[in-house]
Amino acid sequence: MRYLFQDYVFDTDRRELRRGAEVVSIAPQVFDLLDYLIRNRERVVSKGDLINAIWKGRNVSDAALTTRLNVARTAIGDSGEGQHLIKTLPRKGFRFVGQVQEAADPADGAAGNDVEQWPKQTLALPDKPSIAVLPFENMSGDREQDYFADGMSENIITALSRFSSLFVIARNSSFTYKGKAVDVKQVGRELGVRYVVEGSVRRAGRRVRVTGQLIEAATGIHLWADQFDGELDDIFDLQDRVTERIAVTVDMRLQSEQGRLAQRKPTDKLDAYDCVLRANAVWRHGDREANEEALRLAYKAIELDPHYGAAYARAALCINAKKHPRWMIDPQRETAEAIRLARLAITFGSDDEVALAAAALVLGLLAGELDAAASLVDQAVSLNPNSAFAWSVSGWLRLYMGYHELAIEHQNRAMRLSPRDPNRRIMISMLGAANFYLGRFETAERLTSEAVQLTNGHLATLRLLACCLAHQGKLDQAGSVARRMLSLDPGFRLPGAGEFVPLRRKEDLALYIEGLRLAGIPE
């Protein structure tokens, strides 16, 4: 049985709790507790009922039961103060009060993994033509060529994003539909767009065939479908032709813009381009080994084309990704190398918004050059006002500079451009941090708790959650989070806290360190 409430799917057969496309990690006992409460939501469940059902009648202290309930609430975005889903009735018991839909598991096991079957919130259409490019299907008969088809889709998304008259959904949200049989009407509702592009790529030797079709999401009507053939050496020309055809069909007004948009080839070395595509695909796995492999491929791309801005940017981001989880072996040397790569990304990627935004992130976080970084990311946004990555980086930089309301505004812009982003946890974490520094501790706790669930324990997010709880006087909960954090990072101490958050305002840093101190982080 699957129970649907808010944007969660609680699947008792698979013993999974999902929020959107993300699996929420919860302990088996907490899962059983939620299961019992949801199944018995029509009545008040007593403490004795829970002890008999979950602990099989063993003696359980009130504190232990309260802890499990708090963990269950956190897992589903609730809290002891809000009690929007799990309500405590003093001296009576507990009841699950959220609106629940029941759905039997589909007979088709593959369909059962599709968490997008139940209704989602419909996003309002922007005030200009809006479009989502779904990941192109790899028709080469070789799954190892997926990265090439993905790269084609990504480059078309980037090219369309540069039309200021269009609203283009970011790659990370479009790619949540990869490998799924999609209903374009549903895609239109979930992403809030008027048009959807589907396509395929077939690569055979040096020959490439790209097919594409543009569909009006609300009606499902095909506005055009076409096929483009060429040599691998002409791959960028093929991408330009597909992009222009989409743009012209969506809105004839864009024809005048096409002449003003410089046709750019990121590199003349196709082997270097191939390495960057592979690096991007590998890096998204997110673990340490994937990060090292992506870094190796980025360096190889630089060796093949020393003037390739995107390769320097990818390498810099890979080294930057080592900081928070303490993957750096020689922090001083690796930090200097990341900064060197970021500066070269600026030099050779001056017309590439992703390279500029990546360089801005690295210079802001690792070099502490916040003003220069903010100027860089502004250039990136100017180049491509549809870049969710650039807007998100801008949000983080404004946060560190102390412009908290502006940080929230920019991060919300990024989230609208990429409403189904797998990196949503990072975006939500930034919103939590901005609210924390604004003194909105309860809002910050709610957002940061959600981010913790999505990250399953990202260190930076755990630190922030401990601070949010501590400043509300919830010292027991803050201490529990702090102990979890120290189990993952035993060497973390208060004097080194500032190196992870390059905060310009002294009062922001003081608020952060005081929260960690109250939570029990040692000197």
Determine the 3-state secondary structure of 3 from DSSP.
Answer: strand
| Strands 101-103, 86-89: pairing kind | unpaired
Rounded Cα gap, residues 359 and 355, in angstroms = 6
Rounded Cα gap, residues 287 and 226, in angstroms = 39
**Which residues, listed in sequence order, are joined to residue 199 by a DSSP beta bridge?**
212
Q: Which two tokens stand for residue 397?
A: 């930089």
pLDDT for the residue numbered 253: 40
Q: What pTM does this model have?
A: 0.67
Rounded Cα gap, residues 502 and 494, in angstroms = 14
**Which residues, listed in sequence order, are joined to residue 211 by a DSSP beta bridge?**
200, 227
Q: Do domains 267-362 and 418-523 have the same CATH topology?
A: yes
Nearest to 47 by CA among 35, 30, 64, 31: 64
- Kindly report the number of other CB atoms within 10 A of residue 239's CB atom: 23
Neighbouring residues of 409: CB distance < 8 A, sequence distance ≥ 6:
395
193: left (phi over 0), alpha (psi -120 to 50) or beta: beta
The radius of gyration of the chain's CA atoms, rounded to the nearest angstrom, is 24
DSSP 211-225: EEEEEETTT--EEEE
- Kindly report the number of other CB atoms within 10 A of residue 179's CB atom: 9
What is the length of the chain?
523
pLDDT for the residue numbered 15: 84
Residue ranges covered by each domain of the chain? 2-103, 130-258, 267-362, 418-523
Query: Looking at domain 267-362, which CATH architecture does it have?
Result: Alpha Horseshoe (1.25)
Neighbouring residues of 340: CB distance < 8 A, sequence distance ≥ 6:
none
Select 130-258's CATH number: 3.40.109.10, 3.40.50.10610, 1.10.30.50, 3.20.20.70: 3.40.50.10610
Neighbouring residues of 367: CB distance < 8 A, sequence distance ≥ 6:
339, 342
- Whether the Cβ atoms of residue 368 and residue 341 lie closer than 8 Å to each other: no
Is the CATH number 1.10.10.10 carried by domain 2-103? yes
Nearest 5 degrees, angle CA 444-CA 450-CA 452?
Answer: 100
pLDDT for the residue numbered 248: 64
Query: Looking at domain 418-523, which CATH architecture does it have?
Result: Alpha Horseshoe (1.25)
pLDDT less than 50: residues of the chain: 105-120, 252-263
Determine the 3-state secondary structure of 446 from DSSP.
Answer: helix
DSSP 27-44: -HHHHHHHHHHHHTTTSP
pLDDT for the residue numbered 113: 37
- Whether the Cβ atoms of residue 345 and residue 358 lie closer than 8 Å to each other: yes
